[in-house]
Amino acid sequence: MSNQLSSKAENTSSKSNAPITGDSDKKVFIKTYGCQMNVYDSQRMNDALAKDGYSETQDMEDADLILLNTCHIREKAAEKVYSELGRIRKLKEARSEGNRPVTLGVTGCVAQAEGQEIIRRERSVDLVVGPQTYHQIPQIVRRARDGEKVVQTEFAIEEKFETLPLASTKKIRSRGPTAFLTVQEGCDKFCTFCVVPYTRGAEVSRPVAQILEEAQKLIDSGVREITLLGQNVNAWHGLGHDEREWGLGELLRELDKIEGLDRLRYVTSHPRDMEQSLIDAHRDLKSLMPYLHLPVQAGSDRILKAMNRKHTAAEYIAMIRKIKEARPDIAMSGDFIVGFPGETDQDFEDTLQIVRDTEYAQAFSFKYSPRPGTPGAELEDQVPEDVKSERLQRLQALLNEQQYDFNKGLVGKTIDVLIEKRGKTEGQMIGRSPWLQSVILAGSEEDIGKIIPVKIVHAAPNSLNAEHISA
Ligand code: SAH
Ligand code: SF4
Ligand code: F3S
């Protein structure tokens, strides 16, 4: 039975021979949590499943296969998954009566961290797949539809990228003019608060040729902006054409040569891996957008040490000065954790100070969440919840003020905007500034994918309004 099913499913890549099985036209709904790497992975899973006859749906109720692509970074992120699974169980039970059963799967970082435990807690889950084995997803889904409970949490990351199919041109077009491209996965840094080294495994870089092939396909399909992704993207060191190991700066230079690739970005970076060749790329490449997400997490040397970040606050500030010298219009972004174990009022003041010194255009900040299995969770002097909340509020007030100031600084200026999608109201479009702000302006869908100079006329805390420049 299982053999028959898999050979049948392998034949469904072309629609013409699929109807014999009655198994074509299946629909998949993927709900994505967490970081951009999960967004990218969800797309790649959709692309792999498309070859097995699954089309994407935005309506969970209409799906034959529901996948939750999960995040384990903070406790709340993981909890959300279980409450969503409880809701889906009811949908699954209702559908089990009819002839269109639902297959339910958990992928991503919760899948990797909890494995079998997910099925023990929620029996309605049919499959659990960690991020390194998405290339096996069509085959795993077939086994699950055959009645097997499948848990796959092995690390097979190189194989993943070699075998995952690229999306069709039509599909890439439907996703708009900006695209993500994962170049690096995993992390060897073991910051004491973080689950990523456990959920995504050791650092692996994709080779240059593979990345260029994917980038070219994206550009040929209408993409104008590519964001390179990695948990530690600036630690990327892949094999180049010359059999030498390249760094991210060299990779960016190569990508910059692709005709039609107008904008390049990369995220997320670690201050320790900001090599000179990467800073030089910011100085030299017009396509490399003047925006850098460089998380520091905390401003106190004591806390940075306890977090195992392996740099000081002064080194971070000096690094930013160097980057700003190379690219004066660069805008900084970052991540912060408040209430790491042992954080005193003075340590927190140091965090506020590093924020004042850096002047962020945008930043994300979180209360420390002890993660099982990480060294931070074992530390004794955990900070009380109310102290964390109060500190987070103060930090966010400062970061919001900086962000608003940065936005206001652009009023009256002419900047290039990449038009991405329709706005909320008729005749309104949304684009992206070089500094990643949303820009609202008049236009039509025909403008999507165009990069045009516009005049900023108004700044809000989270967006800008622009007017067209009359010729
Ligand atoms: N590789 C990136 C971070 C990836 S995780 C870096 O080195 O900076 C994204 C962000 O989640 C982190 O920057 C951190 O601010 C936050 N984060 C990670 N673990 C956390 C935890 N246990 N509690 C609260 N926030 C956390
Ligand atoms: Fe996590 Fe980033 Fe530290 Fe790696 S470098 S352990 S991903 S915070
Ligand atoms: Fe979350 Fe995993 Fe990304 S834990 S932040 S989805 S790497």
CA of 299 to the centre of ligand 1 (A): 15
- The full length of the chain comes to 471
My answer on whether 438 and 402 are in the same domain is no
My answer on whether 310 and 423 are in the same domain is no
My answer on whether 362 and 457 are in the same domain is no
| Dist CA 102 CA 86 (whole Å) | 14
193 CB less than 6 Å from ligand 1?
A: yes
pLDDT value of position 23: 55
252 CB less than 6 Å from ligand 3?
A: no
Determine phi and psi for 174, rounding to 5 degrees.
Answer: -65, -20
pLDDT value of position 155: 83
Say how far residue 411 (Cα) sits from the centre of its chain: 30
CATH number of the domain where residue 119 is located: 3.40.50.12160
CA of 243 to the centre of ligand 2 (A): 28
Q: What is the number of domains present in the chain?
A: 3
My answer on whether 384 and 359 are in the same domain is yes
Closest residue by Cα to atom 4, ligand 1, is 231
My answer on whether 102 and 62 are in the same domain is yes
Strand partners, 438: 432, 463
Question: Contact, 363 vs 334, CB < 8 A?
Answer: yes
Ligand 2 pocket: which of 196, 198, 203, 234 to mutate (most atoms <8 Å of CB)? 196
My answer on whether 99 and 31 are in the same domain is yes
The residue behind tokens 């297959």 is: 103
CA of 166 to the centre of ligand 1 (A): 29
The tokens for 135 are 């290339």
My answer on whether 338 and 399 are in the same domain is yes
Write out residues with Cβ below 6 Å of ligand 2. Answer: 187, 189-191, 194, 196-197, 231-232, 270
My answer on whether 219 and 338 are in the same domain is yes
Closest residue by Cα to atom 8, ligand 1, is 295
My answer on whether 384 and 435 are in the same domain is no
Residue 183: name the closest of 217, 206, 204 by CA: 206
My answer on whether 145 and 248 are in the same domain is no
3-state helix, strand, coil in the chain (%, to 5): 45, 25, 35
CA of 195 to the centre of ligand 3 (A): 8
Domain range holding 215?
160-407
pLDDT value of position 11: 31
pLDDT in tens, the chain (471 residues): 333 323 323 233 333 333 333 456 899 999 999 999 999 999 999 999 999 999 999 999 999 999 999 999 999 988 899 999 999 999 999 988 878 899 999 999 999 999 999 999 999 999 999 999 999 999 999 999 999 999 999 887 677 888 888 999 999 999 999 999 999 999 999 999 999 999 999 999 999 999 999 999 999 999 999 999 999 999 999 999 898 999 999 999 999 999 999 999 999 999 999 999 999 999 999 999 999 999 999 999 999 999 999 999 999 999 999 999 999 999 999 999 999 999 999 999 999 999 999 999 999 999 999 999 999 999 999 999 999 999 999 999 999 999 999 999 999 999 999 999 999 999 999 999 999 999 999 999 999 999 999 999 999 999 999 999 975
295 CB less than 6 Å from ligand 1?
A: yes
Task: Please list, residue by residue across 258-268, b when 16 or more beta carbons sit within 10 angstroms of its beta carbon and e when fewer do.
Answer: beebbbbbbbb
Containing 295, the helix (H) or strand (E) segment is none
Which domain-ending residue is among 122, 155, 188?
Answer: 155
Ligand number nearest CA of 233 is 1
| Dist CA 136 CA 162 (whole Å) | 12
Closest residue by Cα to atom 3, ligand 3, is 35
Closest residue by Cα to atom 5, ligand 2, is 189
Ligand 3 pocket: which of 196, 203, 371, 374 to mutate (most atoms <8 Å of CB)? 196
| Dist CA 415 CA 421 (whole Å) | 18
195 CB less than 6 Å from ligand 3?
A: yes
DSSP calls for 345-378: HHHHHHHHHHHHHH-EEEEEEEE----TTSHHHH
My answer on whether 434 and 380 are in the same domain is no
My answer on whether 278 and 129 are in the same domain is no
Say how far residue 84 (Cα) sits from the centre of its chain: 21
Which domain-ending residue is among 407, 435, 459?
Answer: 407
Name the amino acid, one letter, at 28. V
**pTM of the predicted model, to two decimals?**
0.93
The alpha-carbon radius of gyration of the chain (Å, integer) is: 23
CATH number of the domain where residue 402 is located: 3.80.30.20
Which domain-ending residue is among 407, 434, 459?
Answer: 407
Query: Which residues in 184-271 belong to E strands, given as ranges?
Result: 184-185, 204-205, 225-229, 237-239, 245-247, 263-267
38 CB less than 6 Å from ligand 3?
A: yes
